[in-house]
A and B are shown apart, each in its own frame.
Chain A
Amino acid sequence: MQNGRADADSTDGGCSSPVTLTINGTIHEVTLDNRTTLLDALRERLGLTGSKKGCDHGQCGSCTVLLDSRRVKSCLLLAVTLDGRDVVTVEGLAGNGDLSPLQAAFIAHDAFQCGYCTPGQLCSARAVLDEVAAGWPSAVTGDLTGPVELTDAEIRERMSGNLCRCAAYPNIVTAVREAATSA
């Protein structure tokens, strides 16, 4: 399988499609093999290699990006379905060259070792802060109808879709907690 590498071909029986994607504020018009995942489109066609391919099956979280401000796994999204949608990758988290508070907290608290999962961790954590602000409960929230307090147990549960095989989890929790309180 050459996911994301097949170019438009008028003889392919309609198996490729034109797609317009906004990535980190920039509009991209590309024609993609329908099989191309958003992750492969980002990495192989648009040169945005910050999003990482770990398992490619939605289990590890290293490919996490924000789609219309919500965190998703880009390895399980077919790019052809995203025409007109807005994507933010790890490359888009910093504004004007300044690290976001979350990114700064990851550095300050040494929230990684090899760094491979970090782009996904950052995008996921960015969305966790928004989800908590919106009052979304989690599996460990005691009162479903009450306000959400971002305890360490809440952070761990909400970040459980992002694996870190270096096991930097304690420092990731600390970084997310600090970003939540400084936001």
Chain B
Amino acid sequence: MRPFRYHRPAGVAEAVALVEAAPNAAYLAGGTNLVDLMKLGVQRPDLLVDVNRLALDTVDPLPDGGLRIGATVRNSDLAAHPLVRQHHPLLSRALLAGASGQLRNMATTAGNLLQRTRCVYFQDTGRACNKREPGTGCAARHGQNRDLAILDWSEACVATHPSDLAVALVALDAVVEAYEPDGHRDVPLIELHRSPGAHPERETTLAPGALITAVRVPPLPFATRSTYLKVRDRASFAFAVGSVAAALDLEGDTVRDVRLAYGAVAHRPWRAYRAEGALRGRRFTAELAAHAADVELAAARPLRHNAFKIPLIRNLTVRALTDLAAAVGR
């Protein structure tokens, strides 16, 4: 690990000024990803600006019924928060499906959104990776790409975003509050992460030096009936091979409204707008759910080793929605 300076700023403005002024600075929150990547030599900051003591660690109900989640609220605290468990169970489910008890005590809300891909080629400094070193190529494109993207990838990068929480939040139309050098800005979460295109090293639409201070979750009454299903290679403590966040609102047996998002399929948390469109206003059946998934996945372009993700996501969609429909009927 390279030597680095360490600074604990007194406030958000100071933190942003420090990082903006130092081109190779990084914010440090939970550190569960950053410190590991520093050990691996993947990230080599010369200044760490510690945001853990900026009092960004509360979950506050909003007057409209939504929630404002501070950037450094720990994953474990958010998952166990009574309002989240009651009104947004898919958030608790997504968080609890991720990492381990120890890591959830460390990892933060904003850090979770900004964590880096777990593509093994990105984490191996001996291999070509356009995300880690632009212009060097993508060893994953024709390498071991079982875990990687099926949607929206480019020849430059086939990495996936590893977050579970981001998938659940994007299904809820969450909004990221960022403090940028030019001032505050609200960024819809669906617009936070970029497609890889020719520049996979540019992962978000935030301005350089920007600091996420909170995530707002708008009210969604039917999210009380929501879930997050995650398939992984072992029963616990593993990243998703594929995942689905879903919330379902039925009137009788007709789909009044639905939220659907997919994880581990693309460079971004993937909101399944097309599938939602195929579901709304129709009589809910398992066949309809499968059809909706097919509509969404028509754009999928599997890599050599991951074509199985298409039926996997399709089946997860059916299971998540039929489980929710059965719960509505109870």
| Chain A complexes with chain B | yes
Kindly provide the distance from the CB of B252 to the nearest chain A CB, expressed in whole angstroms. Answer: 26
Interface residues of chain A, those whose CB is within 8 Å of chain B, are 1, 3, 12-15, 17, 33-35, 37, 56-58, 61, 64, 67, 70-73, 76-78, 80-81, 124, 127-128, 131, 134-139, 141, 144-145, 156-162
Task: Point out the residues of chain B lying under 8 angstroms from A3, CB to CB.
Answer: 1
A160–B35 Cα distance when bound, in Å, is 21
Q: Given contacts A34-B48, A138-B96, A160-B236, could you give 5 more A-B pairs where the C-beta distance is less than 8 Å?
A: A57-B39, A67-B105, A71-B102, A72-B106, A160-B100
B80 contacts A136, CB within 8 Å? yes
* Inter-chain contact A158/B4, CB cutoff 8 Å: no
Q: Does B308 contact A (CB under 8 A)?
A: no
Partner of B36, one of A57, A64, A131, A134: A57
Known: A71-B101, A72-B102, A136-B79. A77 touches B31 (CB 8 A): yes
Minimum Cβ distance to chain A for residue B26 (Å): 12
Q: Are A145 and B102 in contact (CB under 8 A)?
A: no
Whether A78 and B237, one on each chain, are in contact in the complex, defined by CB atoms closer than 8 angstroms, is no
Stretch in B84-92, B150-158, B209-217 touching the partner: B84-92
Contact B31 A128, beta carbon cutoff 8 Å: no
List chain B residues, Cβ under 8 A from A141.
96
Q: How far is the CA of A76 from the CA of B31 in the complex (A)?
A: 7
Residue of chain B at shortest CB distance from A14: B5
Q: Which residues of B contact A160 (CB under 8 A)?
A: 100-101, 235-237
Closest Cβ of chain B: how far from A136's Cβ, in Å? 4
- For chain B, the bracket of interface size reads 35 or more
B6 — which chain A residues lie within 8 A by C-beta?
Answer: 15, 17, 34, 78, 80-81
Contact bitstring B259-275, A, C-beta under 8 A = 1, else 0:
00000000000000000
Chain B residues proximal to chain A, CB less than 8 Å: 1, 3-6, 8, 28, 31-32, 35-36, 39, 48, 50, 52, 76, 79-80, 82, 85-86, 89, 92-93, 96-97, 99-103, 105-106, 235-237
Known: A137-B79, A144-B92, A160-B235. A13 touches B102 (CB 8 A): no
A69 and B235 CA atoms in complex are apart in Å by: 27
Given A33-B3, A35-B4, do A158 and B96 touch, yes or no (CB 8 Å)? Answer: no
Chain A hits for B96, CB < 8 A: 137-139, 141
Contact (Cβ within 8 A) B103 A161: yes
Q: How far is the CB of B83 from chain A (nearest CB, A)?
A: 11
Find the B residue at minimum CB distance from A6. Answer: B3
Q: Which of B28, B50, B99, B237 has the most CB of A within 10 A?
A: B237
Check A161 against B31 for contact (C-beta < 8 Å): no
Interfacial chain B residues near A81, Cβ < 8 Å: 6, 8, 28, 31, 50, 52
Select B39's contact among A56, A145, A159, beta carbons within 8 Å.
A56
A131 closest partner in B (C-beta): B101
